[in-house]
């Protein structure tokens, strides 16, 4: 039976991507959806790294299992790297992706294309019981388009344009995104550690 890795998230889009990126390993990826009694996570860190550690430590202590805490978001140069760690709640605590994207476009109104540079950032912490096994990060540079393009992905993906492909994450084939995304780059940096715990699937 495959070993378990708990991903400390309720975000089904993130979970789907992580499962896809770890598909070559003999691992059962679970999430907070599988632990109804898990404590609420208060993401009050001042960085992606801090929030990833908060998630991983809390859920590892609760489950006793190897736990991945992941925090990621969008940094836009013209907005002084906002929304940053507030990416998921940019438009308010009860907002959804549509609300966040609307606020992003409003704040970038009138900003020319050459000043709409942005990057997705991802930090991952791997914790078992009280031990920090690894911390890694990854990023992906792009630009914010003026209109939604494509229906793949989630969050800001329909507006996050990759210039070398001429497509947004919403338009790119998921297999391409799985090679170049911030989350893919972070997990690639974590690959050697994960392979120690989870051998390649047969």
User: Are the C-beta atoms of 90 and 103 separated by less than 8 Å?
Assistant: yes
Query: What's 177's domain CATH number?
Result: 3.90.950.10
Question: Across all residues in the chain, what is the average pLDDT?
Answer: 94
Whether residue 120 is contained in a domain is answered as yes
Whether 161 has a pLDDT exceeding 70, the answer reads yes
Whether residue 202 is contained in a domain is answered as no
Block residue for tokens 């942005």: 118
Instruction: Say which of 34, 71, 131, 173 is annotated catalytic.
Output: 71
Give the number of domains in the chain: 1
* Whole-prediction pTM: 0.91
Whether residue 181 is contained in a domain is answered as yes
- What single DSSP character describes residue 198? S
Whether residue 73 is contained in a domain is answered as yes
pLDDT in tens, 171-181: 999 999 999 99
Q: What confidence tier does 7 reach under pLDDT thresholds 50, 70, 90?
A: very high
- For residue 48, give its domain range: 3-197
Residue 128: what pLDDT?
A: 93
Whether 17 has a pLDDT exceeding 60, the answer reads yes
42 bridge partner residues: none
Residue 1: what pLDDT?
A: 56
Residue 202: what pLDDT?
A: 63
pLDDT in tens, 74-98: 999 999 999 999 999 999 989 999 9
Q: Is 37 a catalytic site residue?
A: no
144, 9, 123: which is closest to 72 by C-alpha?
A: 123
Q: What confidence tier does 30 reach under pLDDT thresholds 50, 70, 90?
A: very high
Question: 105-109 contacts: CB < 8 A, separation 24 or more?
Answer: 105/146, 105/159, 107/79, 107/82, 108/76, 108/78, 108/79, 108/144
Residue 122: what pLDDT?
A: 97
């Amino acid at each position: 039976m495959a070993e378990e890795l708990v991903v400390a998230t309720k975000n089904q889009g993130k979970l789907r991507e992580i499962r896809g990126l770890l598909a070559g390993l003999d691992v059962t990826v679970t999430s907070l959806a599988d632990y109804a009694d898990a404590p609420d996570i208060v993401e009050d860190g001042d960085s992606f790294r801090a929030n990833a550690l908060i998630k991983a430590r809390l859920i590892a202590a609760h489950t006793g299992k190897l736990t991945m805490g992941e925090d990621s978001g969008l940094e836009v140069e013209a907005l002084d790297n906002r929304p940053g760690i507030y990416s998921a709640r940019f438009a308010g605590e009860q907002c959804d992706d549509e609300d966040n994207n609307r606020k992003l476009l409003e704040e970038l109104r009138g900003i020319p294309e050459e000043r709409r540079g942005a990057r997705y950032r991802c930090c991952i912490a791997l914790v078992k019981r009280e031990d920090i096994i690894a911390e890694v990060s990854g990023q992906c540079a792009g630009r914010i388009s003026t209109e939604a393009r494509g229906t793949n992905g989630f969050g800001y993906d329909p507006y996050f344009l990759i210039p070398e492909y001429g497509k947004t994450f919403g338009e790119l084939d998921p297999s391409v995104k799985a090679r170049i995304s911030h989350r893919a780059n972070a997990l690639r940096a974590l690959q050697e550690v994960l392979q120690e715990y989870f051998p390649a699937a047969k």
